[in-house]
Amino acid sequence: MKSLKVFVVSDSVGETGEQVVKAVVAQFRPNFENTIIRRFPHIDSDDHISNIVEIAKAQDALIVFTLAEEKMRKKLEECCLKENIPSIDLLGPMIQVFQKKINEKPLEEAGLVHKLDEDYFKKIEAVEFAVKYDDGRDPRGLLLADVILVGVSRTSKTPLSQYLAHKRYKVANVPLVPEINPPEELFLVDPKKCFGLVISPEKLNMIRKERLIALGLNDDAIYAKHERIEQEIAHFYKVVHRIGCTVIDVTNRAVEETANDIIERIEQNK
């Protein structure tokens, strides 16, 4: 069986090119016997290309490449043609077809797919973080969070945490109750990343009554009484004053509006 050597040349990590090569090789050699596939990632100069072509010639390898920049593709094609080395351009022909179809110029920027993947995984990580450290479940999360939300019950802490998580912010939230001391970690974090959420007593009374009814409970429970709500809000102000954090009134605000306000403040403080 004749030996086969394939060099995968890429301006990114080369994973796409390698997977395509493996798919093709498997049609001839399912067990990849007597086959070597070698990646050359992050190729970004003419010298790199010249060196790879020289090695390919010495080792009788063929070259498969995924290069986003047209200039680099042409350079590699010319070098391979000069040295009589078989080469396959995986991206170039498809880029040309797309360019003609939509009449737009390509960005010619390496690694864009992996940047999107990285962004996706950051979002997933942030969502998992928000779930793990929701409702004060583990105070240790406060020291790891990008954003900390504090407020009395029913001030949209959880939906706001999830919305911010989809913007790739790691969010922890803490409910404030007069009978329970806030976690000490809350007073150790940078107050600039902590936000107190407050709501008018009248609005909160209405929200809590609706919540009780939805749960099949009597809407005159102490949870929804004005006296209790006033007590909780007074406790809230004592805590946020001690923290020294920003207070945002969410009474007539959508979650998106509050989130955008927080994001703007966080970015300004960086």
| CATH code reported for the domain at 4-110 | 3.40.50
* DSSP one-letter string for 202-256: HHHHHHHHHHHHHTT--TTSGGG-HHHHHHHHHHHHHHHHHHT-EEEE-TT--HH
258 is in an annotated binding site: no
In the structure encoding, which two tokens stand for residue 72, read together? 């680099």
CA-nearest of 233, 205, 199 to 219 is 205
Q: Which residues pair with 88 in a beta bridge?
A: 64
3-state helix, strand, coil in the chain (%, to 5): 55, 15, 30
155 is in an annotated binding site: yes
Q: Tell me the pLDDT of the chain (270 aa) as tens digits.
A: 899 999 999 998 898 999 999 999 999 999 999 999 999 999 999 999 999 999 999 999 999 999 999 999 999 999 999 999 999 999 999 999 999 999 999 988 887 777 667 788 889 999 999 999 999 999 999 999 999 999 999 999 999 999 999 999 999 999 999 999 999 999 999 999 999 999 999 999 999 999 898 888 888 889 999 999 999 999 999 999 999 999 999 999 999 999 999 999 999 987
Distances (CA, A) of 241 to 47, 100, 199, 214, 236: 61, 61, 16, 34, 9
Q: Do domains 4-110 and 116-269 have the same CATH topology?
A: yes
- 269 — phi, psi (to 5°)? -85, -5
| CATH code reported for the domain at 116-269 | 3.40.50
Q: What is the pLDDT of residue 116?
A: 67
45 is in an annotated binding site: no
12 is in an annotated binding site: no
158 is in an annotated binding site: yes
87 is in an annotated binding site: no
Distance CA 228, CA 29 (A): 74
38 is in an annotated binding site: no
Distance CA 220, CA 168 (A): 40
- What pTM, to 2 d.p., does this model score? 0.63
152 is in an annotated binding site: yes
Domain assignments of the chain as residue spans, ordered by start: 4-110, 116-269
Could you report how far apart the first and last alpha carbons of the chain are, in Å? Answer: 61
